[in-house]
Amino acid sequence: MRERIGLVMYGWKLFILFLLFASTFCYAMFQGGFVSWFLFYSFLPFALYAFLFAFYPLKNLTAERRLSQGQYKAGDQLEAFVVLKRKWPFPIMFMIVEDCLPDSLGKNRGSAEAKQLLFPWFKKEIKMAYTIDSVPRGDHRLAKIRVRTGDPLGLLERECEIQLEASFLVLPSYQEIAYRASGGSYDEHAGRVSELRRKDSTLASGIREYQPGDRFAWVDWKTSARRSQLMTKEFEQTKGDDLLVFMDQSPSEAFEEIVTFTASIIRSAMRSGTNAGLVSIGKERNVFPVRQGEEQLRKLFYYLAIADCNAVQPFHSLIEGELGHSDMRKAVKYIVTSRITIELVQALKKPLSGGRPVICLVKKKGGDLSSEESAAVQHLKARGIEVNVIYGEHFSRGLAEAR
């Protein structure tokens, strides 16, 4: 229906153009004289151009889009290059080219630069470049390029959309922080180990196949030679080296800070040789079991890239339902949230096997704790539960001050 209305309006404008041309010609024929013919011949080039422009095959345009990278980190600068190609060098005086950005990018400052006024004239290749200074995290998908143009008098306007799909992933940003576990052990009855980054190679407890991300020093060369494949040592200490992060996906103004902190702590732990996992519930339950290696890190970062604050269940119900699982008891548990509620305090007061969790209360820069949250923090600390209050963007400093 909309296309039919557009065709009717376009036909009506062509009729108006023909009517104006006929009017100036009739005026020159019947009136005569220099002025009337000067008016006719002055209008004639514009009318001829408009008639030719009306039948120019604008839909034959082809487009290419190139992005400076295929994968970004939140806050990076995105550079995009759009090239339109055509076969016939018809003189187009102006053209408005717009790379239609998705809603996830439309509110960004780069949306204005993605729509530009160009003057192609006889060029067969029409080029446009734009940048987005700070690209937000997410899986962004570009769908089409919109082209608008018209004749100099504004009598005719034409528009076409070129379907050109592309996608790029923006991973969450992270900071370099020194990960230290609050708990962990050589085994279930031995002493505590505070620094998970220290691995004692003399405490090897077994052999397993090599996995991406294993250190070169962990390779057992004798066993590898016998089995004709790379084998690495398993250490007794790794039994207490597991990290499990519970991320709050409830609607919050500090959700981006929560994602950034979660990405930072997971990356730091895995770079130090710690097995890491993630438990989070948005619209669906998402559990990533504790694993090691680059593939696990990619999976976790991909989920953090697309995660949204769309939880349909309260965070304390997630804690109550997940902390008691047997496969989660031996891991060091980090609870990352932006608010501490009474229900969450009640859930944490229940006896838990496998050690108490560490609470990371993340606030926006310039934010502050409410009186209820301050009381809840003191109450949890009195019960022996570590609470780290982290403000803004300086996570490492916040963790150091908390300790």
Contact 321, 302 (CB under 8 A): no
β 276-281/204-209 pair status: unpaired
Contact 304, 257 (CB under 8 A): no
Contact 280, 321 (CB under 8 A): no
Each residue of 75-86: pLDDT tens digit? 899 999 999 999
- Cα 201 from Cα 204, distance rounded (Å): 6
* Separation in Å, CA 64 to CA 91, 97, 128: 21, 13, 10
Mean pLDDT of the chain: 80
Q: What is the pLDDT of residue 332?
A: 86
Residue 184 burial by Cβ neighbours in a 10 Å radius (0-12, 13-18, 19+): buried
Bridge partner list, 206? 234
Q: What is the pLDDT of residue 7?
A: 67
Please say if the pLDDT value at position 188 is more than 50: no
Q: Is 248 left (phi over 0), alpha (psi -120 to 50) or beta?
A: beta
Element (H, E) at 82: strand 78-85
Each residue of 11-52: pLDDT tens digit? 777 777 777 778 887 878 787 777 888 887 888 888 888 888
**Mean pLDDT along residues 194-202:** 41
Closest among 57, 158, 149, 142 to 96, alpha carbons compared: 149
Q: What is the pLDDT of residue 302?
A: 94
- Assigned CATH for 239-402: 3.40.50.410
Q: What is the pLDDT of residue 65?
A: 94
Each residue of 108-147: pLDDT tens digit? 555 668 889 999 999 999 999 999 888 999 999 999 999 9
Per-residue pLDDT band at 333 (split at 50, 70, 90): confident
Q: What is the pLDDT of residue 402?
A: 43
Sheet holding 243-247, edge to edge: 285-291, 276-281, 243-247, 332-337, 358-363, 387-391
Tokens of 210: 């090599």
Same fold, 58-171 and 239-402: no
Question: What residue ranges do the domains of the chain occupy?
Answer: 1-36, 58-171, 239-402
Backbone angles phi, psi at 267, to 5 degrees: -65, -45
Q: Write the DSSP string, 269-325.
A: HHHTT--EEEEEESSSEEEEEEE-SHHHHHHHHHHHHH--S--SS-HHHHHHHHTT-
Its pTM stands at 0.73
Contact 175, 264 (CB under 8 A): yes
Contact 322, 328 (CB under 8 A): yes
Q: Where are the beta strands (DSSP E) in 194-242?
A: 204-209, 231-235
Per-residue pLDDT band at 88 (split at 50, 70, 90): confident
- Cα 237 from Cα 202, distance rounded (Å): 10
β 71-73/243-247 pair status: unpaired
Q: What is the fold, at CATH topology level, of the domain defined by 58-171?
A: Immunoglobulin-like (2.60.40)
